[in-house]
Structures are given as structure tokens and as C-alpha cells.
């Protein structure tokens, strides 16, 4: 179950847990299953009741394994859940909305030493974006894809191998 790709878990994750007690037990004891499940796209715009408890359980069961995040908006309550595990995040895709820029900024600026890929998008109704955190907070960053935020040249790091900017305004720090 540790080799089940996270994309297939979006629909089948909970179903796998319901096949039988043996499968349930195996899944519960397989940290990679939970790390993969964390990588499924999760909309936090209007989270269902119990999602905080579920995410905490998934983080606990994933042990110390690295994981990916794919979040649509991230309210303050969820920032507090992920910050203690930020050193395990290897890939992060976030879509921000107008009401959560502060929470997302705090999340990204908490530093993620293992983060290799960061994809930042913005909802169509958002006019302003966030700055990409400085390289010192993301030392392993190899892939950076940003859409519509302000981008400063110092956002790049020595480890950066791929940069994709879409609808961005680039600013030199000497002129801002």
C-alpha cells in the first residue's frame, strides 16, 4: 500500500480502508500510505467538519516520511497543523485566495529545508500576490512555478534548476 500513487488515492484512499480489517490494519501501519494520501489535492476553502483531526492523524501515521502538499487556500487553523511538519514537505502546490494571504505567507516563511518544488497559484479573483520566500528559507528548492505574484530576483537560490513565471511582475530589490 506504500506504493499506491497519491493521485489514485483521491478517490480510492478511503475505500481501501474499508475493504476488510486486514487491509485497514496494513494501511494504518504503512507510513508511506499516509504520506501519499497527504499529497492528494485538498480544498480548505470550506473544510468539512473533522478535517483538522483527520489531517493530524494522517501526519502522525506518516511518521517522519517526506510528503507533498496540494492545497487550495490555507486558513490559519491549517497553517498551525503543517508548520510543525514543514521540514518533511518535499513538494508544495498552493492556491491562494484574498482572505488567506497572511496565513499562506506565514506558512511559506516558516522555512522548509527539504522543499524541492514550490508551485504557487492564485485564484482568478485575486489581484495581488505573495512574494516568494527568500532562498535561505528554501535551500533545497529546485523547481519554482509561480503565477501572478510579485517576483523578486533574490527569490532564486543556488539549488534552483527550473523557474516558470506566469503573469508575474518582476521587481529588482534595488528599485522597490
pLDDT digit string, tens, across residues 29-81: 989 988 888 877 666 666 667 778 888 988 999 999 999 988 776 777 777 88
The percent helix, strand, coil of the chain (3-state, each to 5) is 40, 20, 40
Cα–Cα distance, 133 to 138 (Å, whole number): 7
pTM of the model as a whole: 0.76
DSSP state of 126: -
87 pLDDT above the threshold of 90: yes
Say how many residues make up the chain.
Answer: 176
114 pLDDT above the threshold of 90: yes
Cα–Cα distance, 92 to 28 (Å, whole number): 24
Q: What single string gives the DSSP state of each residue in 14-54?
A: HHHTTS-HHHHHHHHT-HHHHHHHHTS-EE-SSPPTTHHHH
pLDDT digit string, tens, across residues 153-167: 555 567 777 777 776
Nearest to 132 by CA among 102, 100, 154, 99: 154
Nearest to 113 by CA among 47, 52, 168, 66: 66
Amino acid at each position: 500500500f506504500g506504493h499506491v500513487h497519491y493521485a489514485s488515492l483521491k478517490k480510492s484512499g478511503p475505500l481501501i480502508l474499508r475493504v476488510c480489517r486486514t487491509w485497514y490494519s496494513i494501511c494504518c501501519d504503512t507510513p508511506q500510505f499516509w504520506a501519499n494520501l497527504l499529497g492528494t489535492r485538498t480544498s480548505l476553502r470550506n473544510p468539512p467538519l473533522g478535517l483538522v483531526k483527520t489531517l493530524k492523524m494522517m501526519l502522525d501515521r506518516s511518521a517522519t516520511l517526506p510528503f507533498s502538499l496540494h492545497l487550495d487556500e490555507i486558513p490559519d487553523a491549517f497553517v498551525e497543523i503543517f508548520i510543525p511538519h514543514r521540514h518533511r514537505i518535499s513538494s508544495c502546490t498552493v492556491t491562494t485566495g484574498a482572505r488567506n494571504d497572511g496565513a499562506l505567507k506565514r506558512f511559506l516563511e516558516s522555512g522548509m529545508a527539504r522543499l524541492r518544488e514550490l508551485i504557487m497559484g492564485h485564484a482568478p479573483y485575486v489581484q495581488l500576490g505573495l512574494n516568494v520566500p527568500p532562498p535561505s528559507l528554501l535551500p533545497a528548492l529546485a523547481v519554482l512555478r509561480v503565477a501572478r505574484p510579485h517576483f523578486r530576483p533574490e527569490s532564486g537560490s543556488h539549488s534552483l534548476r527550473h523557474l516558470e513565471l506566469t503573469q508575474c511582475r518582476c521587481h529588482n530589490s534595488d528599485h522597490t
